[in-house]
Amino acid sequence: MGFLKLRAALVCASGLLAALLLIGTPAAGYARARHGRSPSTRTALTASGTGALIGGDSKTDCVYAAESISILQGFEQMVNHHFDCVLVYNNASPDWAGWDDPWFLTRHAPPGHDWQQWATAAGTHRELIITQGLFPSDLDGTNWLQAGASGAYDTYARTLARNLVAAGLGSSVIRLGHEANYTGSPWFIGTTRQSFQLWDEFWRQTVLAMRSVPGAHFLFDWCINAYWKPVPLAEWYPGNDVVNIIGIDTYDAGVPAGDARWSRLYDQPDGIKAVLQFAAAHGKPVSIPEWGLWTPGPTTLGGGNDPAYVNGIASVVRHNPVAYQSYFYNHAAAALLSSDPLSLSAYRQSFGGVGG
């Protein structure tokens, strides 16, 4: 989802540990999701040397606010909650100059969209989730897969890292090449084992290049698109040494209406349950960088006003190691949440101010 356009059918430890993690059905009267994290956990995270809000089971509340600070402020008022974590996109740059020197840095950002200044404001402790494409759009149609795997673009990755570190954003989460199992993605993984391997190597090369820059303390989020193309996750996983967080974008769409809607979303191939299992097997926390209500229709199969979906996401966050979750407050997901008292109340109970 994000800026890749709305798709037609949808968007977007092992053993005992895995058994303990996979509690995905919402229980009546669940407590607020972030109350699963104690204050001492937050203190340990911020004392880790990176100053990051996100890490391990931090359950950090984030939001995508259409990249507008005024919309963020309006969302905060609506849900009665202050956010120190915001998701932004740098996945549509036409050239390397925009790819490695992102638009949201102060020297480029238009008024009201200066996320560098927001994240680094004095007296605050804030963090950005940066959705970064694998390459700019002027490489579309080229042999980017082979070139990237060979390290041909590493210099741009190092420049990006240096620019972020210099901007005070060296502890950001980098959601690199997100939703690559979506067939419409510019950095689609392809359909063969060879293309999966090349894609993995390209992702690895980018991470290693960015980590090589002094002052870089980035966390890298390998994020899939729920249900779209259920390629076995192990076949295109870049590796534990380069992945910090395993993410899934999962909207309330893609399944027919019915009483078991949440269960079907949860159990779909390459759905939430599958990602929780995979992350547990690799000892990684999970993220939900994009989630939201979606409009019903014959192609989207969205759930519309659906507090059970909001409660389901909250239950996943509460009962599993989740680094962060980010509601996609834009388009239909924003309109539905703001107009439905039941869904909004469910969000407030778990992620915002208590009550409707």
- Angle at CA of residue 113, ends 243 and 53, nearest 5°: 35
Distance of CA 51 to the CA centre of its chain: 20
Token representation of residue 15? 């053993």
Q: What percentage of the chain reaches a pLDDT higher than 90?
A: 80
The string of DSSP letters for 275-288 reads HHHHHHHTT--EEE
List, for residues 194-235, the tens digit of each pLDDT value: 999 999 999 999 999 999 999 999 999 999 999 777 789 999
Q: What is the mean pLDDT of residues 309-333?
A: 98
Q: Given this model, what pLDDT does residue 12 score?
A: 37
CA distance 137 to 3: 13
Q: Given this model, what pLDDT does residue 45 score?
A: 31
Outline where DSSP puts E strands in the chain.
60-64, 85-90, 127-132, 173-176, 219-225, 245-249, 286-291, 322-328
Helix (H/G/I), strand (E/B), else coil: 342 = helix
Rg (C-alpha) for the chain, rounded Å, is: 19
Domains in the chain, ordered, with CATH? Answer: 16-41+56-140+156-185+206-351 (3.20.20.80)
N- to C-terminal Cα distance for the chain? 28
**Contacts of 306 by beta carbon, 8 Å cutoff, 6+ apart:** 252, 261, 293, 343
Instruction: Using pLDDT thresholds of 50, 70 and 90, give the confidence band for residue 354.
Output: low
Q: Given this model, what pLDDT does residue 17 score?
A: 29
**Contacts of 196 by beta carbon, 8 Å cutoff, 6+ apart:** 189, 190, 231, 235, 236
Q: Is the pLDDT score of 341 beyond 70?
A: yes
Backbone dihedral angles phi then psi of residue 87, each to the nearest 5 degrees: -95, 135
* Residue 60 identity (one-letter amino acid): T
pTM attached to this predicted model: 0.87
Q: What is the mean pLDDT of residues 31-56?
A: 43
CA distance 186 to 178: 10
